[in-house]
A and B are shown apart, each in its own frame.
Chain A
Amino acid sequence: AQKVTQAQTEISVVEKEDVTLDCVYETRDTTYYLFWYKQPPSGELVFLIRRNSFDEQNEISGRYSWNFQKSTSSFNFTITASQVVDSAVYFCALSHTGNQFYFGTGTSLTVIP
């Protein structure tokens, strides 16, 4: 079975704090892709990152970084020095072939000025 769990329903941080959003996935396949999407209050979904199962290198993009660990089936997302514009719902997703996608239930992040 394929499943994505985002156990943190809501997180609040004060501006400039660092915050990590957790994502744990389940799959029996050896080839798969993991994604993070951002849904700001306006409602659209914005692609942030894709990682395939063969690439465990961590990635950094500005204030965003991602930690992929196959040993713990986790693909966590850290925002450094959070800003009010980071307030959004963040979704983690899993896909094997690009056909079926499985989304977590999302983590709502509020950054307090």
Chain B
Amino acid sequence: NAGVTQTPKFRILKIGQSMTLQCTQDMNHNYMYWYRQDPGMGLKLIYYSVGAGITDKGEVPNGYNVSRSTTEDFPLRLELAAPSQTSVYFCASSPGRGFSYEQYFGPGTRLTVT
């Protein structure tokens, strides 16, 4: 099992550009999450999904969009990138309700917006 994979590992965007961060898991987990981690801070939840076709906002959803068309994939879309979106982005998955909630994280995507 590859676990949770994220692409790209690094990306530099210009202000106003858009991009999609890819996340795939092969553990058949129901729940998936997107976080951002700013320097010296903990993780902040952007969006989460409890199953294909179901997504919901976390603490810091502004400027982002998600979709979940399959169990495996949970892409994060940045529209009109801003310097405030410079961060490290982590995708995670967990088995979810009725199983366990420990999260398995991808390696992260380091995004710089200039």
**Stretch from B16-24, B67-75, B93-101 at the A interface:** B93-101
From known contacts A98-B96, A99-B56, A101-B33, infer whether A47 and B104 are also in contact, taking CB-CB under 8 Å: yes
Closest to A105 in B: B42
Contact of A95 among B43, B56, B101 (CB under 8 A): B101
Chain A residues within 8 Å of B103, by CB = 35, 37, 45, 47, 101
Instruction: State A104–B43 Cα separation when bound (angstroms).
Output: 8
- Say whether A55 faces chain B, with CB atoms less than 8 Å apart: no
- Say whether A33 faces chain B, with CB atoms less than 8 Å apart: yes
Tell me whether B104 and A100 are in contact (CB under 8 A). Answer: no
Closest to A42 in B: B107
- Say whether A103 faces chain B, with CB atoms less than 8 Å apart: yes
From known contacts A98-B97, A99-B48, A99-B56, infer whether A104 and B102 are also in contact, taking CB-CB under 8 Å: no
Tell me whether B31 and A98 are in contact (CB under 8 A). Answer: yes
Tell me whether A43 and B101 are in contact (CB under 8 A). Answer: no
Distance (Å) between the CB of B114 and the closest chain A CB? 21
Instruction: State A97–B59 Cα separation when bound (angstroms).
Output: 15
Annotate B47-79 by CB proximity to A: 1 below 8 A, 0 otherwise. 010100000101100000000000000000000
Instruction: State A97–B58 Cα separation when bound (angstroms).
Output: 13
Closest to A95 in B: B101
- Say whether A75 faces chain B, with CB atoms less than 8 Å apart: no
Tell me whether B41 and A105 are in contact (CB under 8 A). Answer: yes
